[in-house]
Amino acid sequence: MPLIANQKDLVCSALLHSNDGIAVADAEGTILLWSRGAERILGISPDDAVNQKLLSLPLEPLEEGGNFFFIMEKALAVKNSMDVVSTLKGPGGSLVTIAINATPVQFEEDPEKSRGCAFVFKDISSMQKREAKLEKNINFLETYLAKFNEAQMANMKMMRELAFKRKEVVELNAALHALNQNICGALEDISHEILSPLANIIGYSNLIKSGDESISEESREFLDLILRSGVKIQSLAQRVLDVSKLEAAIESGTIALNPCQFDLNGFIGEILSDFQIPIAEKKLQAVINLGKGPLTLNADMVMIGQVVSNLVSNAIKYNSKEGKIIVESGEEDGFVWLRVSDTGIGIPEEELPRIFDRFHRVRQGKGQAAPGIGIGLNLVKSIVELHKGTITVNSRPGEGSAFHVILPREQLERRGL
Ligand SMILES: Nc1ncnc2c1ncn2[C@@H]1O[C@H](COP(=O)(O)OP(=O)(O)OP(=O)(O)O)[C@@H](O)[C@H]1O
Ligand SMILES: [Mg+2]
């Protein structure tokens, strides 16, 4: 239905005041209509635009083909509506991105100017900025996700490797355990093999010495030498046997503690009296500071004896001539403590973590090595730990060493079989 004049004015007015950018131009590019919305978006008033050429507008497209005139020519050429996004530099120099719909139109009144184009455009700058931001965020998220996936893969790889390594460690531990048991067993066997014929050697030497009065003085001296050497080997083999048996029993969980109540102070006194000769030989000064009264301890007496003997034996062996041995004891909060100190050669700091290892000895200069095979402290540590106690050492080379043992006063239960 054709529009009556009044209706046309109404439509025109509505278009003019539309919020969207609306412009109409004829085929030569002369602007016939320029809405308020177009002014708001592009900063060119209808007065400055109408009757002007599209190409003369102060609008600079950033991309080729973003010009209103070119868009119109294209739409006219294809005789169809076109959608184009164009970024233009406006009269104030600011950039604005618009989405333009260009539609070829036919003017009824003037057949000369019968062809032209109607543009409807929207400012999409902020939308574009939002899109760009969104894209940036998506990119960031994608990179983050890729990195996360990468890290997760690396993590899984590490977990697999860790599980593999753990398995290796378990296997290695089992192998070491088996090897240790073999060594303990072998040491036990060797000691037994040595001890039985040795018992014969010592026994028969004694028999000859005491039973045959006709033997010469010289032969008697040889017999004494055989006996002394035999006893020395016997005590060495016996110690190796003791340590191996103890270790094997600890390993297999069959260790038996035989706790009894005794006075540690009195016991220390007894043990020290066994060392009188070596102490005198080395002209050592023994300082005994055991505190007053008995020091009651509930523990395996034989084993505690080995602890005291080994520490005192070391304090003598690694002391300098005319040095000092200090043996102290006391009690505190349900624990008893024992300290054996000396003023001997001391232990280098780097050796301290290893001196409790079985068969480990600090290497001394040639000809200075004290006799021993490195099992005393290992035995001491095993016994102390079996009694749920601790042993620590302080030492300075050239100044001396102090071994400090702490034991619970009571063994709460009879452990082992
Ligand atoms: N009081 C000490 N002063 C200096 N070094 C010590 C002392 N006690 C132990 N050591 C060092 O620690 C090592 C291990 O001591 P451990 O008692 O286990 O063995 P050992 O005395 O060499 O031999 P064993 O006790 O079997 O006869 C010793 O070889 C020695 O180097
Ligand atoms: Mg020793």
- Report how far Cα 179 is from the mean position of its chain's Cα atoms: 29
Q: No. of H helices and E strands in the chain?
A: 10, 13
CB–CB of 61/88 below 8 Å?
A: yes
Ligand 1: distance of its center to the CA of 305 in Å? Answer: 17
d(CA 307, CA 300): 11
Q: Give the max Cα distance, the chain.
A: 164
How would DSSP label each residue in 215-267? S-HHHHHHHHHHHHHHHHHHHHHHHHHHHHHHHHHHHHT-----EEEEEHHHH
Quick check: pTM over 0.75?
no
Ligand number with the minimum distance to the CA of 403? 1
Nearest to 397 by CA among 362, 345, 361: 345
What is the helix (H) or strand (E) element at residue 374, kind and residue range?
A: none
What is the helix (H) or strand (E) element at residue 283, kind and residue range?
A: none
The secondary structure of residue 20, as a DSSP letter, is S
d(CA 137, CA 129): 12
CB–CB of 265/304 below 8 Å?
A: no
What is the model's pLDDT at position 115?
Answer: 85
Question: Three-state DSSP class for 370?
Answer: coil
**Which amino acid residue places its CA nearest to atom 20 of ligand 1?**
374
d(CA 359, CA 38): 98
CB–CB of 379/310 below 8 Å?
A: yes
For β-strands 60-61 and 82-89, DSSP reports them as antiparallel
Ligand 2: distance of its center to the CA of 32 in Å? Answer: 115
In this structure, the residues whose C-beta lies within 6 A of any atom of ligand 1 are 310, 314-315, 318, 342, 344-347, 355, 361-362, 372-378, 401
CB–CB of 100/86 below 8 Å?
A: yes
Ligand 2: distance of its center to the CA of 300 in Å? Answer: 20
What is the model's pLDDT at position 3?
Answer: 52
Ligand number with the minimum distance to the CA of 315? 1
The secondary structure of residue 53, as a DSSP letter, is B
How would DSSP label each residue in 117-142? EEEEEEE-HHHHHHHHHHHHHHHHHH
Burial of 166 from C-beta contacts in 10 A (0-12 / 13-18 / 19+): exposed
- Contacts (Cβ under 8 Å, ≥6 apart) of 82: 71, 74, 75, 101, 102, 103
Residue to probe by mutation, ligand 1, list 233, 235, 357, 361, most atoms within 8 Å of CB: 361
Per-position pLDDT tens, the chain of length 417: 455 556 667 777 777 887 889 999 998 999 999 999 999 999 999 999 999 999 999 999 998 889 999 999 999 999 899 999 999 998 888 899 999 999 999 876 665 556 899 999 999 988 888 988 999 999 999 999 999 999 999 999 999 999 999 999 999 988 888 887 788 788 888 888 888 888 988 988 888 888 777 888 888 888 889 999 999 898 888 888 888 888 888 877 888 888 999 999 999 999 999 999 999 999 999 999 997 888 999 999 999 999 999 999 999 999 999 999 999 999 988 899 999 999 999 999 999 999 999 889 998 766 667 888 899 999 999 999 999 999 999 999 999 999 999 999 886 544 443
What is the model's pLDDT at position 111?
Answer: 59
d(CA 181, CA 187): 10
Ligand 1: distance of its center to the CA of 314 in Å? Answer: 6
| Tokens 């006075």 -> residue | 263
Question: Three-state DSSP class for 82?
Answer: strand
Ligand number with the minimum distance to the CA of 318? 1
Ligand 1: distance of its center to the CA of 260 in Å? Answer: 29
d(CA 327, CA 180): 34
| Tokens 């760009």 -> residue | 132
**Which amino acid residue places its CA nearest to atom 22 of ligand 1?**
374
